[in-house]
Amino acid sequence: EHAFWETQPVRQFGEKDEGEAAEGAIDAGGRASERAESAPPSLPPGYEWCSCDMRDEETQKEVYELLTNNYVEDDDAMFRFQYSKEFLKWALCSPGYHLEWHVGVRLRVTNTLVAIITGVPARVSVKGKEIDMAEINFLCVHKKLRSKRIAPTLIREITRRVNAKDVWQAAYTAGVVLPKPIARARYWHRSLDIKKLVEIGFTRLSRDSSMSRAVQVYKLDPKPKCDALRRMLDEDVPQVTALLSKYLSSYSLAPVMSEADVRHWLMPRDGVVFSYVVENENGKITDFISFYNLPSQIIHERTKHKELKAAYSYYNVATSMPLVDLMADALILAKCNNFDVFNTLDLMENASFLEQLKFGKGDGNLHYYLYNWRLSADLEASQVALVLT
Ligand code: MYA
Ligand code: JJ1
């Protein structure tokens, strides 16, 4: 059934529950390092390993093009993620990143990049235990090379390179079900430009609704309700770090962020990540909003539209007002920034505002996984506070 995953230190389907006592590394200390390989696994003849330097413009373009044409699609192959170069640089060149964890496969004769898998270092809190991990993302094999077992080879190679830095755990997400999810989250969508969303087939009008009625339903105020909301500034980093750290510490799975991490992941970046704070009269930051820009390409373009502009909810903290009021303003800010739709997962407290703010449940799931870490029980989405880009 899972010829590759059965060989890996991950929870298997049908495995007996071993209770709280068994929580921890599946393949512990000594055994894990015995497993560590000293040479890369072999690729089919004609292919070779490389590292992708995302600060090099030529490489950035190759990674961008591989993903643009071959990365994640929805179940009906209508939309494909369209990560921008700036976004990829942000997602991959985070504090402490290792060039070798951006693994590529090239076709020797032409030097064409045909597959990648990436990792960045992150400190992750799992049920209160802080672990240095790799966050794995952007696993992608060119459409013409699918089903040749290249993905397992990529996973083995990145595992080897991560282990070489003395890191033995990883966190990753996928739309597909693999052995074995620790949590399942759902995508929810809030229309900002309903007319465009219908035209491109992202949404349908309910049977009893006309377009003009739907436009009314999704209409938003032109400006946020909260006057004290402003873009996050560099000088806010210490307070945002404190606010966020306190908030995240109550979850079973959450990133542990230093000021440097917050500066990297949460300071506004044009066209990539949007962050806002509420500062009170005493100069105290009480609330925080963030979302990132991840457009999708419209695969069978039948209309004038080429791209779906989607904002994805990132980390949000409300202390001076109800979360639903803060997120109502997040929708307005996304609309002001010309997004067509605001997407979120039902992580953290997000389920509490979905209905009131007119989100609809999407057709996509996101499964969360840990590599080489056993939990005694699955987590509820509401206990997960880790958002991977
Ligand atoms: S999730 C996003 C994944 N990317 C896409 O969906 C893009 C479009 N699809 C593709 O590019 C290919 O279809 C991929 C598979 C590359 C996905 N995660 O080579 P194959 C297993 C893990 O013949 P292909 C993300 O980026 C599959 O069950 N495994 O298949 C997080 C089968 O194994 P088994 C997957 O279709 C990635 C084997 O691969 C996935 O040509 C986290 C078939 O290989 C998947 N998304 O290529 C990776 N899809 O027989 C794990 C299929 O056992 C990281 N498979 O069922 C683990 C931690 C590593 C570091 C550890 C450090 C300590
Ligand atoms: O975007 C997604 N679904 C959309 C489009 C569906 C098109 C047909 N399949 C969707 N639209 C309906 C929304 C509507 C809103 C108002 C009320 C009624 C419903 O559902 C989905 C998420 O829902 N996206 C995907 O499937 C993309 C893949 C997601 C997995 C990503 C894994 C990559 C992680 C790597 O780390």
For the stretch 31-66, pLDDT in tens is 566 666 789 999 999 999 999 999 999 999 999 999
For the stretch 328-352, pLDDT in tens is 999 999 999 999 999 999 999 999 9
User: Helix %, strand %, coil % for the chain, to 5?
Assistant: 30, 30, 45
ipTM of the complex, rounded to two decimals: 0.99
Residue ranges, comma separated, of all CATH 3.40.630.30 domains in the chain are 5-180
Q: What is the CA radius of gyration of the chain?
A: 21
Closest C-alpha residue for ligand 1 atom 51: 155
Q: What is the mean pLDDT of residues 352-379?
A: 98
pLDDT at 29: 65
Q: Given pLDDT bands bounded at 50, 70 and 90, which one contains residue 28?
A: confident
Residue ranges, comma separated, of all CATH 3.40.630.170 domains in the chain are 184-383
Calculate what percentage of the chain has a pLDDT beyond 70. Answer: 98
For the stretch 66-109, pLDDT in tens is 999 999 999 999 999 999 999 999 999 999 999 999 999 999 99
Kind of pairing, strands 129-141 and 170-174? parallel
* Cα–Cα distance for residue pair 15/5, rounded to 1 Å: 14
Q: Could you tell me the distance, in angstroms and rounded to a whole number, from the CA of residue 278 to the centre of ligand 2? A: 31
Peptide bond into 223 cis (omega under 30): no
| Residue 74, ligand 2, Cβ within 6 A | yes
Of all ligands present, the nearest one to the C-alpha of 186 is: 2
Q: Given pLDDT bands bounded at 50, 70 and 90, which one contains residue 301?
A: confident
Higher pLDDT, 19 or 343: 343
Q: Give 292's strand partners.
A: 273, 312
Q: Could you tell me the distance, in angstroms and rounded to a whole number, from the CA of residue 238 to the centre of ligand 2? A: 35
- The class that CATH gives domain 5-180 is alpha beta
pLDDT at 34: 61
Q: Given pLDDT bands bounded at 50, 70 and 90, which one contains residue 177?
A: very high
pLDDT at 353: 98
| Residue 388, ligand 2, Cβ within 6 A | yes
Q: Could you tell me the distance, in angstroms and rounded to a whole number, from the CA of residue 72 to the centre of ligand 2? A: 11
Closest C-alpha residue for ligand 2 atom 10: 362
Kind of pairing, strands 102-107 and 47-51? antiparallel
Of 336, 334, 377, 384, which is closest to residue 359 (Cα–Cα)? 334
| Residue 175, ligand 2, Cβ within 6 A | yes
Mean pLDDT, rounded, of the chain = 97
* Cα–Cα distance for residue pair 251/256, rounded to 1 Å: 11
pLDDT at 302: 74
pLDDT at 35: 61
Higher pLDDT, 331 or 30: 331
Residues 334 and 291 sit within 8 Å (Cβ to Cβ): yes
| Residue 138, ligand 1, Cβ within 6 A | yes
Instruction: Tell me 142's DSSP state.
Output: -
| Residue 2, ligand 1, Cβ within 6 A | yes
pLDDT at 31: 54
* Cα–Cα distance for residue pair 384/308, rounded to 1 Å: 27
Higher pLDDT, 33 or 215: 215
Closest C-alpha residue for ligand 1 atom 61: 159
| Residue 72, ligand 2, Cβ within 6 A | yes
Q: Could you tell me the distance, in angstroms and rounded to a whole number, from the CA of residue 7 to the centre of ligand 1? A: 14
| Residue 5, ligand 1, Cβ within 6 A | yes
Q: Could you tell me the distance, in angstroms and rounded to a whole number, from the CA of residue 152 to the centre of ligand 1? A: 7
How many Cβ atoms are within 10 Å of 123's Cβ, its own excluded? 15
Q: Give 172's strand partners.
A: 136, 369
| Residue 176, ligand 2, Cβ within 6 A | no
pLDDT at 303: 79
Of 235, 327, 332, 339, which is closest to residue 287 (Cα–Cα)? 327
| Residue 360, ligand 2, Cβ within 6 A | yes
Q: Could you tell me the distance, in angstroms and rounded to a whole number, from the CA of residue 364 to the centre of ligand 2? A: 4
Mutation choice for ligand 1 from 139, 144, 389, CB with most ligand atoms inside 8 A:
139
For the stretch 312-332, pLDDT in tens is 999 999 999 999 999 999 999
User: What are the CA-CA distances from residue 353 to residues 215, 277, 330, 350 (Å)?
Assistant: 20, 19, 12, 6
Burial of 306: CB neighbours in 10 Å, binned 0-12, 13-18, 19+? exposed
Q: Could you tell me the distance, in angstroms and rounded to a whole number, from the CA of residue 77 to the centre of ligand 1? A: 18
The CATH architecture to which 184-383 belongs is 3-Layer(aba) Sandwich (3.40)
Q: Could you tell me the distance, in angstroms and rounded to a whole number, from the CA of residue 14 to the centre of ligand 1? A: 21
Q: Given pLDDT bands bounded at 50, 70 and 90, which one contains residue 209?
A: very high
Q: Does 291 have pLDDT greater than 60?
A: yes
Q: Given pLDDT bands bounded at 50, 70 and 90, which one contains residue 187?
A: very high
Write the DSSP assignment of 199-231 as a string of letters. Answer: HTTS----TT--HHHHHHHH---SS-S-TTEEE
Give the DSSP H/E element, type plus range, for residue 365: strand 360-371
